[in-house]
Amino acid sequence: MKAITLPGPAALFVTGGGRDVDTARLAVEAAAGEHVRLVDERDDEIGLAVADPDNARLRVLATPADGFPAIDGALLGWRVERALAWRTTLGLPGPDHAYRLIHGAGDGLPGFACDVLGQTAVVYAYGAGLRALGHKLAEAIIGFARLRGAVVKLRARGGADSAPQDIVGAAPDERPIVTEHGVPFEVHPLTGLNHGLFTDMREHRRGLGRFVAGARVLNLFSYTGALSVSCARAGAATVTSVDTSAGVQAWAAGNFARSGLSDPRRWRFETGDAVRFLARAARDKERYDTVLIDPPTFSTARGAPWTLDRDYPDLIARAAAVIPADGLLWLAANTHDLGSLARLAHKGLRAAGRTGAIIEQGGLPPEYPTLAAQPGDRYLQICLLRLA
């Protein structure tokens, strides 16, 4: 196994608990997927890693304290077993449950993630050089979690919704039904990168129920309607779901039906642009007691690049126009780069001539562990405000 010497700061990063070594400024010669031994400037071994040049990273999968001589099935199995034990403590595994089993470096598996969807695992490899190891990881997951099979997807940089994928074990159903806190949802493990249920929102979907009983709820960028269903089940008077895709709106309507929610007078599905919808709603003097906004991090759906930092405040200002006094504004941001969501909320509300009090803030649920040495990995921000 090739040895790579890390200079002082990079070596300290690894010995201090870091697992994603940035190689952008290091002279690293290693092929994609190559297993390498990391040493410090005294030639002491500090870790075993796999090269991921697509992301300019060395993914550290073991340190000497772990006691593994190679990156192999034994190491991966040990990692999976530990990850599963934590999810079992949280009460997550079940025959039809949906949950995050592997979350990258926080589970000792940097460059990988895994969602369990009932009897199938969806394993994400975040670089082409990690794909082969992703197959071995899938085998370990199937064995330890006692699943029927897995889909291994290459989730490369660039945000494309389609990518190479491979089946390990039994092929899954195309549209299985899974549950989250007892709520049924349809998922698509074989279609694209997103299977239809963002598991990082699990606790936030349940938590919204405390605030929406009897409320008129508007959900912008509603996707497959998971947040909308949660609000409806919690007793919302009405729920309006807005998304640009007719396909996901049909998917969302199906998720409503699975929960016995079929009254079209209470549950509306509007296919179209969120900004245009808000403009029309303000013009027609529509009012919503609670507005949910979970926009894409980056989009060109309106014909021009849309980014959170620049455009989120304007969206917040437009939403404020349809929220009465004492109404709620729930905001989400899925990004590693965004500073403070509360700061953007204040900027948008100020532009609308409104003020807001933060009621609650949140982030990733406990099955999404991140390393203290890599604080930037905590990408999810949630902010709930009560408007004056």
For residue 334, name the pLDDT band (cuts at 50, 70, 90): confident
Quickly list H helices, 297-367: 308-320, 341-351
pLDDT the model gives residue 302: 60
**Which residue spans of the chain are classified as CATH 3.40.50.150?**
199-387
Q: CA-CA distances (angstroms) from residue 251 to 185, 222, 241?
A: 9, 11, 12
| pLDDT: which is higher, 305 or 194 | 194
All CATH 3.30.750.80 domain ranges of the chain, comma separated, are 73-186
Residues in CB range of 293: below 8 A, 6 or more apart: 220, 221, 274, 315, 316, 319, 329, 330, 331, 332
Contacts of residue 193, Cβ cutoff 8 Å, sequence gap at least 6: 124, 153, 155, 160, 161, 162, 163
The correct answer on CATH 3.40.50.1000 for the domain covering 199-387 is no
Burial of 159 (0-12, 13-18, 19+ CB in 10 A): exposed
Q: Which band of pLDDT confidence, cut at 50, 70 and 90, is reported for residue 299?
A: low
Structure token digits, residue 350 = 């100020």
Q: Are 22 and 3 in contact (CB under 8 A)?
A: no
* Per-residue model confidence as pLDDT tens digits over 251-280: 999 999 999 999 999 999 999 999 999 999
Q: What is the pLDDT of residues 122-172, one digit of tens each?
A: 999 999 999 999 999 999 999 999 999 999 999 987 655 667 899 999 999
Give residue 307's pLDDT: 81
Q: Which amino acid is at 132?
A: A
- Report whether pLDDT(355) > 60: yes
pLDDT in tens, 82-125: 999 999 999 999 999 999 999 999 999 999 999 999 999 999 99
Task: Check whether 303 has a pLDDT greater than 80.
Answer: no
Provide DSSP, 119-179.
TEEEEEESSGGGHHHHHHHHHHHHHHHT-SEEEEEE--TT--S---EEEEESPPPSS-EEE
Domain with CATH 2.30.130.10 in the chain: 2-66
Average pLDDT, the chain: 95
- Decide if pLDDT at 288 tops 60: yes
Band of the pLDDT at 340, cuts 50, 70, 90?
confident
Dihedral (CA of 26, 31, 32, 35) sign? negative
Please give the average per-residue pLDDT across 222-234, as a whole number.
98
Q: What does CATH list as the number for 2-66?
A: 2.30.130.10
Give tens-digit pLDDT for 312-331.
999 999 999 999 999 999 99
From residue 190, give the alpha-carbon distance in Å to each of 59, 93, 174, 176.
27, 21, 6, 10
Q: 73-186 sits in which CATH class?
A: alpha beta
Task: Write the burial class of residue 324 (CB in 10 Å: 0-12 exposed, 13-18 middle, 19+ buried).
Answer: exposed
Q: Alpha-carbon distance 267 to 278, whole Å?
A: 18
Decide: helix, strand or coil at residue 275: helix
